[in-house]
């Protein structure tokens, strides 16, 4: 067998991307294409009293103007998270009500983008305005429930065991807050919808779930699923905001059908800040009680987040808490309030990321209170089971992550007093935090075709959000068939191909590669061959055009025996110039346990990407809303601050552990999201070591250090 798995392999899609050959959603060129421009509300709460579109409709080149007075026909979908889903339960242009600033209130279609934009600005709207609720501090919070139903109630449902009021030799109780974050993918939200005789439609749109989008658009349009084709071979960043159709997509597809022309809609950066999702701000109360030896006696974790009037989405911060540290007494509660803002949604490690910022910050505070090394405190409290499901963890190497990370970083040289390490005039701080993320897996299918030219062709509707799916799919096929990676051609992101599952929840690799493995084994059986070389010889003798096989893979009963999770530890160094309150992250080590690492190059890249995103959360990312009109005060990639190369040090990534064969036949768990968990806490913990000042509110802007 080829020894390909585990090696460092260059991206299969890399050359297409850097040479411009990769075609993204808005780049598909279709004859007779026209352009749509969104009209959005300038108030956050109220209704439209009057909307005047006469001048816009009379503008040269304008083909149609849609508002709530003449919306294109749209059917209500079932809106089930596991089958068909839209991000906003309220259909676009369904009435004259305004729920948040930036809500879509119209669509102008013209023969050019510029003419559509110009006409959109000529629409006159009179509003009936009510005071918006923008302030999370003044909102009315209620108990949240899991958005996925009872099967995944652990993500947000309340949980209590033992007596949470117990005390110990040391108790830490504090409130930790995070600000609203915006996804900010390089590729904007955009799509092209092309109807064929009003019967079938092809939609070119970046989506993390091709088959899910196909089902959803079919329901929205009132046509059979097979009459909807979704094409999404490349995605220029998503992070959770491109899993389901947004209102602009729903409107584009319906309008294209009405005007009987291919229609393109691109959401502007300004519009994206308001109506294509964000991570809600959070407020979390953590209480930890521990014995003198550091063993935890109680954990209380109460989390608050905010949602929109048009959809319910809690940020499930407490879901990760029962996974990391053992305690006989635990209380978890999630609360949610409605604000007049756009819909929050999944953003890299939803829930786990802010949840672990709070928990890992509190653990560091407890370590200082007890005068116990933070690494040692975590080792003493490691749990062997998921404390809600009571299932043992499979292939867990959390302790190894902590120990190896400490060794690689040189943690034993750390001074045990704040403000004790200096570099010239700069204060130096070392901090660490744990990383954790659930291992998810779903059902997927793949087709393998062996062709006479010696090429193996892999086809599946799954797509690559930039994580390296093209490459690990090719590597899986290459290893199983005994071929070089160069002889594998991978085709992704088209709904006419077998169902490849969702690129979300760090599940694509774990979901899809077992199906590719099985399909490769089946095609060799079909060819009556031990490997591809024999199969190609048999193919040429047979005179057939190809050998092909389709296979699927899905979770079995293993979820009833084990809890599956990935683990890690981050270690970081910061410097602080107190005179000008300048904070820099200067060194980073991450050690991660994700089962079998299929491609060491892209896996490490994923962890680095998560760390960079976490450093952005820690130091600079925040989106505030204008208290008067409710619109985000950030409006593009310049006003929303996120890290540049100069902000990021060299990030050293290592992997530990063995294949998790209880989880799937490949032994692989996902690595897209675990890299961001714990990062912000590692930074704030290092800041405390450097300065003696505990930062419990992100981001750590200079004013908080002065």
Residue 165: pLDDT band (50, 70, 90) is: very high
282 close to 175: Cβ distance less than 8 angstroms = no
To which H or E segment does residue 55 belong?
Answer: helix 54-57
| CATH no. for 142-181+278-439+561-705 | 3.30.365.10
Cα(115)–Cα(111) distance, rounded to whole angstroms? 7
Q: Write down how long the chain is.
A: 706
Cβ contact 212:493 at 8 Å: no
As a whole number, the mean pLDDT across the chain is 96
> For residue 1, what are its two tokens?
């067998």
pLDDT greater than 70 at residue 150: no
Q: What is the pLDDT of residues 231-267, one digit of tens each?
A: 999 999 999 999 999 999 999 999 999 999 999 999 9
Bridge-based pairing of strands 444-450 and 426-438 is: unpaired
β-bridge mates for residue 265, sequence order: 36, 191
Residue ranges of the domains in the chain? Answer: 14-21+442-554, 32-131+186-237+242-275, 142-181+278-439+561-705
Whether the pLDDT of residue 153 is over 90: the answer is no
CATH architecture classification, 14-21+442-554: 2-Layer Sandwich (3.30)
Torsion of CA 570, 575, 576, 577, to 10 degrees: -160
pLDDT digits (tens, 9 = 90+) for 205-239: 999 999 999 999 999 999 999 999 999 999 999 99
| Residue 467: φ, ψ to 5° | -85, -15
In 3D space, the residue among 649, 700, 610, 657 whose CA is nearest the CA of residue 240 turns out to be 610
Q: Let me know if 673 is a catalytic residue.
A: yes
pLDDT, residue 112, reads 98
Only one residue has tokens 């005060």, namely: 633
Residues of the chain above pLDDT 70, percent? 99
Least confident of 95-104, 148-157, 452-461, 507-516: 148-157
For residue 375, list its beta bridge partners.
Answer: none
Kindly report, residue by residue over 609-652, the tens digit of the pLDDT: 999 999 999 999 999 999 989 999 999 999 999 999 999 999 99
Residue of 88, 444, 428, 107 lying closest to 255 (CA atoms): 107
Q: What is the pLDDT of residue 151?
A: 58
Write the secondary structure of 61-81 as one string of H (helix), E (strand) and C (coil).
CEEEEECCCCCCCCCCCCCCC
How do the residues of the chain divide into helix, strand and coil, expressed in percent and rounded to 5?
30, 25, 45
Cα pseudo-dihedral 451, 453, 454, 457, rounded to 10: -40
Does the pLDDT of residue 154 top 70, yes or no?
no
* Whole-structure pTM value: 0.97
Query: How confident is the model over 478-525, as pLDDT tens digits?
Result: 999 999 999 999 999 999 999 999 999 999 999 999 999 999 999 999
Among 492, 493, 488, which Cα is nearest to 454's?
488
**HSE-up of residue 376 (Cα within 13 Å, Cβ side):** 10
Catalytic option among 335, 573, 621, 673: 673
Place of tokens 């310049």: 638
Task: Pick the closest to residue 610 from 566, 658, 563 (CA basis).
Answer: 566
- Among 271, 276, 270, 345, which Cα is nearest to 307's? 345
Q: Give 419-486 as a 3 state SS string.
A: CCEEECCEEEEEEEEEEEEECCCCCEEEEEEECCCCCEEEECCCCCCCCCHHHHHHHHHHHHHCCCHH
14-21+442-554 and 142-181+278-439+561-705 share one fold = yes
> Does domain 32-131+186-237+242-275 sit in CATH 3.30.70.250?
no
Q: Give, for 525, the enclosing helix (H) or strand (E).
A: helix 508-526
**Which residues, in sequence order, are CB contacts of 112 under 8 Å at separation 6+?**
35, 61
């Amino acid at each position: 067998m080829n020894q390909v798995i585990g090696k460092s392999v260059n991206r299969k899609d890399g050359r297409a991307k850097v040479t411009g050959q990769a075609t993204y959603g808005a780049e598909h060129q279709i004859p007779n294409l026209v352009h749509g421009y969104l009209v959005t509300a300038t108030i956050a709460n109220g209704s439209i009293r009057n909307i005047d579109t006469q001048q816009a409709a009379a503008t040269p080149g304008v083909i149609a103007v849609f508002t709530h007075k003449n919306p294109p026909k749209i059917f209500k979908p079932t809106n089930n998270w596991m089958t068909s889903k839209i991000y906003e339960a309220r259909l676009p242009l369904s009435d004259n009500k305004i729920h948040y600033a930036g809500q879509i209130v119209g669509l102008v279609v013209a023969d050019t983008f510029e003419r559509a934009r110009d006409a959109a600005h000529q629409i006159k709207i009179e509003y009936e305005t009510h005071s918006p609720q923008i302030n999370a501090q003044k909102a009315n919070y209620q108990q949240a429930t899991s958005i996925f139903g009872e099967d995944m109630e652990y993500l947000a449902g309340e949980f209590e065991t033992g007596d949470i009021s117990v005390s110990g030799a040391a108790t830490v109780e504090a409130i930790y807050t995070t600000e609203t974050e915006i996804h900010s993918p390089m590729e904007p939200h955009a799509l092209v919808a092309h109807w064929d005789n009003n019967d079938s439609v092809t939609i070119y749109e970046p989506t993390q779930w091709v088959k899910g989008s196909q089902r959803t658009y079919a329901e929205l349009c009132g046509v059979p699923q097979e009459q909807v084709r979704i094409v999404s071979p490349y995605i220029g960043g998503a992070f959770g905001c491109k899993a389901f159709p947004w209102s602009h997509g729903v409107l584009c597809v319906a309008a294209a059908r009405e005007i009987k022309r291919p229609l393109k809609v691109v959401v502007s950066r300004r519009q994206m800040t308001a109506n294509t999702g964000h991570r809600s701000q959070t407020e979390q109360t953590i209480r930890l009680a521990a014995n003198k030896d550091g063993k935890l006696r109680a954990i209380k974790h109460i989390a608050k987040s905010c949602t929109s009037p048009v959809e319910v989405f809690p940020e499930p911060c407490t879901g990760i808490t029962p996974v990391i540290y053992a305690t006989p007494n635990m209380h978890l509660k999630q609360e949610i309030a409605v604000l007049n803002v756009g819909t929050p949604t999944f953003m890299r490690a939803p829930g786990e990321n802010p949840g672990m910022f709070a928990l890992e910050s509190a653990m560091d505070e407890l370590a200082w209170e007890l005068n116990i090394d933070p690494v040692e405190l975590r080792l003493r409290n490691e749990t062997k089971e998921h404390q809600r499901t009571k299932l043992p963890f499979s292939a867990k190497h959390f302790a190894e992550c902590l120990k190896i990370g400490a060794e690689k970083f040189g943690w034993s040289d750390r001074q045990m007093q704040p403000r004790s390490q200096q570099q010239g005039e700069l204060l130096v701080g070392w901090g660490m935090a744990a990383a954790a993320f659930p291992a998810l897996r779903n059902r997927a299918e793949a087709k393998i075709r062996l062709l006479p030219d010696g090429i193996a062709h892999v086809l599946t509707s799954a797509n690559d959000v930039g994580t390296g799916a093209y490459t690990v799919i090719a590597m899986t096929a290459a290893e199983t068939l005994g071929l070089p990676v160069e002889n594998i051609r991978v085709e992704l992101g088209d709904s006419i191909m077998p169902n490849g599952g969702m690129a979300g929840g760090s599940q694509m690799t774990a979901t899809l590669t077992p199906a590719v493995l099985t399909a490769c084994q089946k095609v060799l059986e079909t060819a009556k061959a031990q490997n591809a070389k024999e199969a190609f010889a048999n193919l040429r003798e047979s005179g057939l055009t190809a050998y092909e096989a389709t296979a699927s893979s899905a979770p079995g009963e293993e979820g009833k025996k084990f809890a599956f999770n990935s683990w890690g530890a981050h270690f970081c160094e910061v410097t602080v110039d107190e005179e000008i309150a300048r904070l820099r992250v200067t060194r980073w080590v991450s050690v991660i346990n994700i089962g079998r690492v299929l491609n060491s190059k892209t896996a490490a890249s994923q962890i680095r990407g998560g760390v960079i995103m976490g450093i952005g959360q820690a130091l600079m990312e925040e989106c505030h809303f204008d208290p008067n009109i409710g619109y985000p005060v950030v409006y593009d990639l310049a006003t929303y601050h996120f890290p540049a190369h100069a902000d990021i040090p060299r990030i050293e990534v290592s992997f530990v552990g063995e294949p998790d064969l209880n989880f799937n036949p490949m032994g692989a768990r996902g690595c897209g999201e675990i890299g961001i968990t714990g990062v912000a806490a590692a930074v704030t913990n290092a800041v405390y070591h450097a300065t003696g000042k505990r930062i419990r509110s992100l981001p750590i802007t200079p004013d908080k250090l002065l």
